[in-house]
Amino acid sequence: MKPIKSFREYVEKLEESGEIVKISKEVDWNLEMGAITRRAYDLPAPAPLFENVKGCQKGFRVLGAPVGLSPDKEHPFKRVALSLGLPVDTPAPKLVEEWSKVPDVTPIPPRTVEDGPCKQNKLFGEEIDLTRLPIPWIHYGDGGRYINTYGIFVARTPDGSWVNWAISRAMLDGPQTIAGVVIPTQDFGKIYAQWKEIGEEMPFALCLGVDPAIAMIAGYPLPSGMSEGEMMGGWYGEPVDVVKCETNDLLVPASTEIVIEGFASLDELVPEGPMGEYGGYVWTGRGKEVPCFKVTAMTYRDDPIMPLCVAGVPTEENHTNWGISIAASIQNVLSKQDFPIRECFIPMESAAHWFVVSVDKNRDTKDDQKLAENIGKAVFASKGGSYVPKVIVVDDDIDPSNLSQLVWAIATRHHPDTRVTIPNQYIFPLVAYLSAKEKADAVSTRVIYNCLTPFHSWPEETRPVEASFRGYPEELQKKVMDEWKEYGF
């Protein structure tokens, strides 16, 4: 398939595919928009396109659940496939495999153009009133209205050698101010630290509504120093068109729906959070103080569309976009080591807390326990693996994306004595179950579950046969399937 090169085109493709419901009825930005989107995730249902948000600037629209699961039961990952420019019937592990190739593409730098759709309307300084945008108060218990849940922040090192495109949540602070989350261990935080070191405010651009594949790569744990825009060009096979911001020198995707630009303060802090998170919880209590992002300009397309991810219990974009991208980045690493890897996946239901890898059941190894342990340690050593606290290793007769098979494998093949726990490991501080101290230190125990069977090393006559339909001879399976309707089903 040909890649979709703008968010607007993506919305049109979703509508053509029956993946969108247009909501012209007035909807309140205060919780109602979030509740409708959550309900769409849970069913799953088509993505809601809100066209009439109470008290907000006319013409501005919001697409909820842009990469949620599809109601098409045969192709639940349709929106992910469309985002990546892959066939809609691509199986989930195959999506991971294809996306795992991104770090190995030949980078193609973005192409600077003079103008683009994002420049159709321009506002500066006091003309800007972000409170008039259809920015939702998403969850009961959130600390404020979240302006960014699925847009990308653009930042660049002071020397210009590295441009980072990243999804990072941001809360509305005022008509021209945003509370921006800066995590020191993430790339966005590393670039902010470089600006702080030289004593200059960091230029930023918040791009709401970008090419769907750009949003996907912004959730991909690429090696630090690797620019997403260049790798996206490699994935497309042609440059991404970018255009210069109005009040700083950053370059942003030209087709973006809304660009909000400015400078991140080095010393002014504003409150942010709490917010419902990808683990499925809204943490009670006060939020924290984060840098104030001061807005100097806003440019936007006519009748712009903002994306909305309502983070929480699976499955939403943190699990489809981020989970698949994390799994892909880890598969890229594992494929370059001497492991008999077959498939990799992060089950949606695990809220990105499990990484599952299947290995060749005909592998040439005498020590399955060592194999599982080495795979787990390789995962934890990777950049993508830093987000995942639990690794599950299974044989390749288990589909890592099939939760029923996975539960069966964990229940019947994992012996508690084979579990490997590794203490004092770096861990992403938003992992749901961490204590306050573990979150602050970003250190906790990580675990490897060995669900490999020893059957492959047993004499063939002593190997157990799976007691399921696929345990019957292949000829009989085919006969039953071919004659299924004749039986009366």
Give one DSSP letter per residue of 385-419, joined into a string: GGG-SEEEEEETTS-TT-HHHHHHHHHHH--GGG-
**Residue 173 three-state SS:** strand
In eight-state DSSP terms, residue 194 is: H
Residues in the chain: 489
**Encoded tokens for 278:** 């990808």
The pTM of the whole model exceeds 0.75: yes
Q: Compute the half-sphere exposure of residue 370: CA atoms within 13 Å on the CB side of its CA.
A: 4
Residue among 372, 461, 464, 474 at smallest CA distance from 412: 464
Helices then strands, each counted (H, E), the chain:
13, 21
- Give the active site residue among 97, 230, 272, 277: 277
Q: For 279-419, where are the E strands, in sequence order?
A: 288-300, 305-308, 341-345, 354-359, 390-395
**Encoded tokens for 45:** 């249902």
pLDDT beneath 50: ranges in the chain: none
**Residue 439 three-state SS:** helix
- CA of 132: how far to CAs of 19, 58, 176, 300, 427, in Å? 28, 9, 11, 14, 38
Q: What integer pLDDT is reported at residue 1 of this predicted model?
A: 64
**Residue 70 three-state SS:** coil
Hey, how many other C-beta atoms are within 10 angstroms of the C-beta on 403?
A: 13
Residue among 93, 47, 44 at smallest CA distance from 72: 44
Residue 277 bears catalytic tag: yes
Q: Note if the bond before 177 is cis, omega within 30 degrees.
A: no
Q: For strand 152-156 and strand 341-345, is the pairing parallel, antiparallel, or unpaired? A: unpaired
**Residue 311 three-state SS:** coil
Burial of 181 (0-12, 13-18, 19+ CB in 10 A): buried
Hey, how many other C-beta atoms are within 10 angstroms of the C-beta on 245?
A: 22
How far is residue 301's CA from residue 306's CA, in Å, rounded to a whole number? 11
Rounded to a whole number of angstroms, the CA Rg of the chain reads 23
- CA of 95: how far to CAs of 56, 346, 350, 398, 468, in Å? 38, 12, 18, 17, 27
208 and 79 in contact (C-beta within 8 Å)?
Answer: no
Q: End-to-end alpha-carbon separation of the chain, Å? A: 36
How far is residue 31's CA from residue 37's CA, in Å, rounded to a whole number? 10
How far is residue 210's CA from residue 300's CA, in Å, rounded to a whole number? 12
How far is residue 350's CA from residue 215's CA, in Å, rounded to a whole number? 22
